[in-house]
Structure 1
């Protein structure tokens, strides 16, 4: 995707799009500087405020255990949908690292997730790519999940209070069900 196309994608819509049949790309234009957004990606205490905690040694091949406690992300958290527990853990590994521009990690049974940061004046364009999502059910979960988590990151980076996580996630899952092809 060209620089112009990615910037246009972020400016047009906060929704993720399929850039391949099994690849979700989602972008956010965030207040900088880039080093601060990098810290939100890599430092456990900051990352747990929008996604999941877990210490991250900054080296390719290093393991990372992500620990989600989505009910702690917003106050109030909203009502948790059936099938979700209070905590979820996932073992990952760093596959690419170019601070403060690129971080790629393994992600469960999918092809992995990459985060790219690009300076855009005083803002930072975050491009998240989740590759090789195996099926539609997983695609709807990761699309709505990334969108809801990035909404929280954008609010935190702007010094605002994010909306209740679980209500946003549930609304987004329905919306992605309409937006993404069967």
Structure 2
């Protein structure tokens, strides 16, 4: 690494050498079994407090050190990443594993196998970044009756939105309004079939 603005950066991650505990990478990272190299350019150097450089194209990595008594706070930020779950979970789990290895080395402890720990963290981060929200409750009524309550605005406006432009039907777009605060949202029945009542599932799009 050339420690000057615009200097060349080359990082080689030899994962199998990071721990005395042997173990192969998972199948989807098989191409990294012999290691992985990255290149970039130095963006900022403020020794000994800050180092920032580009990472394989457009993303940027920054290390910041802040003294706190006899300790040091290390903050690592990886910016401008692709906003997909695979990238976010992989990058987060990777840096997390490397920082854990750093802590183990500083404490004189042998780090765990990189890939074993990485997979554990990747699973945890997948749950964090998953944009799907779900909840549930037990309603002691028949499925058809509950389903009907969601597609019939005469019923739905009594417990959910304020008004609707019509009953939900497959492929039909309607507008739901939540008073003056939330405004309007479009919603349409999802799936094939002549009637939404044929199914016990309802999907909406266009929020």
Same fold (TM over 0.5): yes
Question: CA separation in 1, counterparts of 2:22 and 2:69?
Answer: 34
The RMSD of aligned alpha carbons is: 1.3
Aligned residue in 2 for 1:57: 2
1:96 matched to 2:41? The reply is: no
Question: CA separation in 2, counterparts of 1:114 and 1:170?
Answer: 24
3-state SS of paired residue (2:126):
helix
After TM superposition, the structure 1 = structure 2 runs for residues 32-47 of structure 1, keeping only pairs within 5 Å, are: none
Aligned match for 1:176, one of 117, 122, 125: 125
Aligned match for 2:21, one of 67, 70, 76: 76
CA contact under 8 A between 1:70 and 1:77: conserved in structure 2?
no
1:87 matched to 2:32? The reply is: no
In structure 1, stretches of 5+ residues that fail to align are 1-55
Structure 1 position 110, deviation (Å): 4.2
TM-score, with structure 1 as normaliser: 0.66
1:157 matched to 2:102? The reply is: no
Greater RCO, 1 or 2 (C-alpha within 8 Å, sep 6+) = 1
Aligned residue in 1 for 2:91: 142
Structure 1 position 77, deviation (Å): 3.5
CA contact under 8 A between 2:40 and 2:57: conserved in structure 1?
no
1:128 matched to 2:128? The reply is: no
Higher Cα Rg: structure 1 or 2? 2
Structure 1 position 106, deviation (Å): 0.3
Structure 1 position 89, deviation (Å): 1.2
CA contact under 8 A between 2:85 and 2:126: conserved in structure 1?
no
How many equivalent pairs are there? 127
3-state SS of paired residue (1:106):
strand
Question: CA separation in 1, counterparts of 2:68 and 2:15?
Answer: 30
CA contact under 8 A between 1:77 and 1:166: conserved in structure 2?
no
In structure 2, stretches of 5+ residues that fail to align are 132-207
Question: CA separation in 1, counterparts of 2:69 and 2:22?
Answer: 34
Structure 1 position 111, deviation (Å): 2.3
TM-score, with structure 2 as normaliser: 0.59
